[in-house]
Chain A
Amino acid sequence: DTGVSQDPRHKITKRGQNVTFRCDPISEHNRLYWYRQTLGQGPEFLTYFQNEAQLEKSRLLSDRFSAERPKGSFSTLEIQRTEQGDSAMYLCASSSTGLNQPQHFGDGTRLSIL
């Protein structure tokens, strides 16, 4: 059973650098979500796609953040000019289409900004 896969698991970078994360959803899932989780908090929604269309973006997603899902399969999340406050766990989830569908999460990418 192939679940949601995220790469890399950990990323350490210097402030000001650009980083890109990848998410491979469960193959039959049309919807893909990105969340951010800081220590001791629940995840916060960033953005979501249905197939290749980005349908919603949170106000948390500043113009330094961009997400793509070019062929409706895997997705990338890029952060430009990273800041200390970007340090967090970035979680990807996928689900089937429909109102009451559970979301299935990957193990996340932990980003640390030096």
Chain B
Amino acid sequence: SQQGEEDPQALSIQEGENATMNCSYKTSINNLQWYRQNSGRGLVHLILIRSNEREKHSGRLRVTLDTSKKSSSLLITASRAADTASYFCATSLTGGGNKLTFGTGTQLKVEL
């Protein structure tokens, strides 16, 4: 079963705009990871944020984590057409071994 939900399910923006995706989860976590998936391909790891961290940056990506609200957000700044993909959050649950539990994903479309 899925751990949580991404919001929105789909997002369409113009190139150059920022894209924000949200992820909620249900139980205590070790870390939360964001992945990108292009159609028909595997998942590309974007960023990992530990449960004791609140914000992380990587290039044009900014991830926040609020463990009190059990939520995370992914911000992509200055989006490009090449950012068009599905984005998934995945949690490594406390006491859950090392398996990842994925959300349902956000489909991002960046138009020229």
Contacts and interface: CB of A to CB of B under 8 A. Distances in A.
State yes or no: do A and B come from one complex: yes
A103 interface: yes
B26 to A, nearest CB: 14
A33 B99 contact: yes
Interface residues of A, number: 29
Nearest to B4: A42
Interface residues of B, number: 26
Interface string B62-100: 000000000000000000000000001010100001111
Contact of A48 (B88, B99, B103): B99
Contact of B104 (A41, A104, A105, A110): A41
Nearest to A45: B99
6 contacts: A43-B90, A44-B2, A99-B30, A103-B45, A104-B45, A106-B42
Given A42-B103, A99-B98, 6 more contacts: A33-B100, A41-B104, A45-B99, A48-B98, A91-B43, A102-B45
